[in-house]
Amino acid sequence: MLGLSFRRKKVKLAVQMQIRYKQFLVILVANLLLAGALFTAVSWNFNRSFRDYVRNDQAKELQPLVEGLAEAFQQNGNQWQWLQDNRRQWQHLVQRYLILRDSAENLSPVKSESSKRPPRMPRPPHPMTQRLLLSDENDKPIIDLPMINPEHRKPSIQWLPIRVDGEMIGRLGVAHSTELEREMDRLFVTHQLQQLAWIVLGILLISVGLAFPFAKRLVRPVTRLQQSMQQLAAGEIEQLEPLPVTSDDELGRLAHAFNLLTDTLKDNLKARQQWIADISHELRTPVAILQGELEALIDGVRPMQPSALESLHAEVGRLTRLINDLYELALSDQGALAYHRDEVSLNRLLSDFLEESQPRLSEKDIQLDFEASKHPLILFADESRLIQLFRNLLNNSLRYTNAGGQLRVRLLEDRQKGMVTVLWEDSLPGVANEDLERLFERLYRTDSARDRISGGVGLGLAICRAIVEGHQGSIEARHSELGGLAIAVHLPLYR
């Protein structure tokens, strides 16, 4: 037993840890994916925005060159022939307008190649020269880019219009590669992405730190449910405490359903214990009477007379009826109570039964009032079980109705619902409200002393309910208009 208990604890711990870590891993993976997606999206958007900013900034830097080209275009006869494929002149223009001068005098008008003097000291080409190109108003190339290595990706080109008096005379293009050219720009982007990575990593660490307590809190109701289920499996029903219902989600509804199950099991356990106690009590009474009378006869206290034998026979008969009733209820619980169904005329069956019972009613001076239906009422039922039902109802009325009272039986038809109601009413005494709902419980009696004297043990109405439910009907108790008890039996019509 100790080894089995230890293994159960290991299994319990393994299940708890498995569920807890599964939830933790799910949360962790979700956070990793979210953090990765966030970092990718933000870095991509930052790179694109910063690259656009750099290109726009470079476009502003090229504005003096655009203005200089417009001025040179006018000075050279409003045409581009002087610059066609002349890369030397082109480099001179780029150097002239992209390098800052100390004074505006250095920006003298540009003349044709034949009228220019060669520079005294050649300057190195401006780095922008290799990325600039020029086309006329018809997009015909004037200055093209140097030969591009086929292995390299073709750069994207940003075009700046060149205008004279509002009319476009050409376009200046600047080629942008997929990477940033200036070292300062690259360092800035790298620094910003590093800061972003640290921020995302910090958020991820915080979320991971919160994930395990959250997973533990989320699995706590499952742990409590598992512990309660183990108590239930061990038979500790009475020690079970209700599970706290702290939410309206699936776990909350599961806890609520388990509490309902626990309450039902507790009620059934109490009912079974009460049932066993009541049966023991009811069996003890006739057995004790039999034992006492037999001992009196054996000891010679009572003479062996017919009256003594009749008393013994009455107690044996009562004990036999009790055992038979208990047996029928047990069969009903198991669904094994036999029914031999056939077409039965309820008007005829009930009329014949009441007519045969008239002598018993007359003995107690009880007046019978029977109201049959004007239409034929056909049931598909077991005739013998229906007679047993009516006999138990009659016995109940004979036990409790005062002498000189009244018994009224009516048949009420409801064709729309396809049902017929047998309304069985008797006169005083009545039944208290708190007893009405319990009349069909087994071994329940409103007055145990009087019931025992009359020979009842509180099983008659319980058997009535079993018979009615076996015919797909229902039965209920209520106050009678005559001042006593009314039993309404609802049965389905066959045709």
User: What tens-digit pLDDT sequence spans the chain (495 residues)?
Assistant: 444 444 454 444 444 456 667 777 887 888 888 888 888 888 888 888 877 777 777 778 788 888 888 888 888 888 888 888 777 888 788 877 776 433 343 444 444 444 445 555 555 555 666 778 888 888 888 888 765 444 444 567 888 898 888 888 888 888 776 666 667 777 887 888 888 889 888 888 888 788 778 777 777 787 788 888 888 888 787 777 888 887 787 878 888 888 888 888 887 787 777 777 767 766 776 788 788 888 888 888 778 888 778 878 877 877 787 777 777 767 666 555 677 899 999 999 999 999 999 999 999 999 999 999 988 999 999 998 899 899 999 989 998 899 999 999 999 999 899 999 999 999 998 888 888 888 888 777 665 433 444 445 577 888 899 889 989 999 999 999 999 999 999 999 986
3-state secondary structure of 273: helix
- pLDDT value at residue 306: 82
Rounded distance, CA 334 to CA 332, Å?
5
pLDDT for residue 114: 43
CB 422 within 8 A of CB 408: no
Distance CA 344, CA 379 (A): 5
Element (H, E) at 167: strand 167-176
Pairing label, strands 378-381, 406-414: unpaired
Rounded CA gap, 333 and 325, in Å? Answer: 12
Q: Which two tokens stand for residue 475?
A: 């039965």
Strand partners, 427: 483
C-alpha triplet 420, 424, 428: angle, nearest 5°: 160
CATH node for 340-492: 3.30.565.10
As beta bridge partners, residue 143 has 134
What would the CATH number be for the domain defined by 250-332? 1.10.287.130
Residue 425, pLDDT score: 95
Task: Tell me if domain 250-332 and domain 340-492 are identical in fold.
Answer: no
What is the number of residues in the chain?
495
| Alpha-helical runs (H) found in 334-431 | 346-356, 358-363, 383-400
The domain ranges of the chain are 2-56+183-233, 250-332, 340-492
295's enclosing H/E stretch is: helix 250-299
Q: Please, which residues have CB within 8 angstroms of residue 380's CB and are 6 or more apart in sequence?
A: 341, 342, 343, 344, 494
Ranges of beta strands (E only) in 27-147 are: 132-136, 141-143
Residue 59's pLDDT is: 75
User: What pLDDT score does 48 carry?
Assistant: 80
**Whole-number pLDDT of residue 410:** 96
The alpha carbon of 483 is separated from its chain's Cα centroid by a whole number of angstroms, namely 51
Sign of CA pseudo-dihedral 184, 188, 194, 197: negative
Residue 155 burial by Cβ neighbours in a 10 Å radius (0-12, 13-18, 19+): middle
pLDDT score for 407: 96
Q: Which pLDDT score is estimated for 322?
A: 72
The answer to whether 91 and 126 have CB atoms below 8 angstroms apart is yes
Q: How many CA within 13 A on the CB side of residue 215?
A: 19
Rg (CA), the chain: 53
Containing 48, the helix (H) or strand (E) segment is helix 2-61
Do 279 and 326 meet the contact criterion of CB atoms below 8 Å apart?
yes
Structure tokens at 114: 């034949």
Q: How far apart are CA 429 and CA 431, in angstroms?
A: 7
Amino acid identity of residue 433, one-letter, is N
H/E stretch holding 170: strand 167-176
The token duo for 356 is 């045969």
Copy the structure tokens of residue 278. Answer: 């009541």
